[in-house]
């Protein structure tokens, strides 16, 4: 479990609403919430709840879904980056990193998860000339993830 999430859990156990309101208005104190950590935790718990028959683990920056029927695991990379206009252009760095992971043959299937936005509502499959030239079988998708 992430440090920021466990800290928020501990704070919610020890303080009631009035205590938090008092602390929030104190001029010398501030809260820092790691949005990436919270988004990753949200994705992990939701995927685990929706797939009780699969083995789901959270590693440093990815969530791995492994089923008994399929030997190839699906790797989810949650990213707290808002896509405003063009997903293929705004996610260039993430796509390049995913292509490097696929080229190293560490895995075959990667989904890059981003928060859903007005201009990013559908899965976008990505093809790489580099990976195609290597003759690899792979899946690389940009996926909008609903937060509610």
CATH of the domain at 140: 3.40.1350
Q: Do 82 and 112 have their domain in common?
A: yes
Distance CA 11, CA 8 (A): 5
Q: Quote the pLDDT of residue 8.
A: 58
Q: Do 40 and 23 have their domain in common?
A: no
Number of domains in the chain: 2
State CA 27 to chain mean position distance.
Answer: 34
* E strand or H helix at 5: helix 3-14
Q: At what angle do helices 3-14 and 35-50 cross, to 10 degrees?
A: 90
The pLDDT tens digits of the residues spanning 27-52 come to: 666 666 677 888 888 889 899 999 89
Q: Do 129 and 94 have their domain in common?
A: yes
Q: Do 40 and 64 have their domain in common?
A: yes
Q: Quote the pLDDT of residue 141.
A: 95
Q: Do 6 and 46 have their domain in common?
A: no
- Domain containing 20: what range? 1-33
Q: Do 71 and 135 have their domain in common?
A: yes
Segment 116-129 mean pLDDT = 90
Q: Do 117 and 53 have their domain in common?
A: yes
The pLDDT tens digits of the residues spanning 17-27 come to: 676 676 667 76
Q: Do 38 and 104 have their domain in common?
A: yes
Q: Do 54 and 123 have their domain in common?
A: yes
Q: Quote the pLDDT of residue 97.
A: 94
Checking if the pLDDT of 1 tops 60, the result is no
Helix and strand element counts for the chain (H, E): 6, 6
pTM: 0.75
């Amino acid at each position: 479990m992430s440090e920021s999430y466990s800290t928020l859990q501990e704070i919610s156990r020890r303080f009631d609403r009035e205590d938090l309101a008092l602390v929030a208005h104190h001029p010398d104190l501030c809260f820092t919430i790691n949005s990436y950590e919270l988004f990753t935790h949200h994705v992990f718990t939701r995927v685990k709840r929706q797939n009780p028959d699969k083995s789901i683990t959270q590693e440093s920056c990815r969530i791995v879904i492994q089923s008994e029927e399929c030997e190839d695991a699906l790797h989810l990379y949650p990213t707290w980056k808002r896509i405003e206009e063009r997903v293929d252009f705004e996610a260039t760095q993430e796509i390049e990193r995913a292509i490097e992971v696929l080229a190293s043959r560490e895995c075959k299937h990667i989904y890059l998860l981003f928060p859903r936005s007005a201009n990013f509502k559908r899965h976008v499959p990505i093809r790489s000339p580099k990976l195609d030239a290597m003759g690899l079988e792979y899946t690389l998708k940009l996926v909008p993830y609903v937060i509610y």
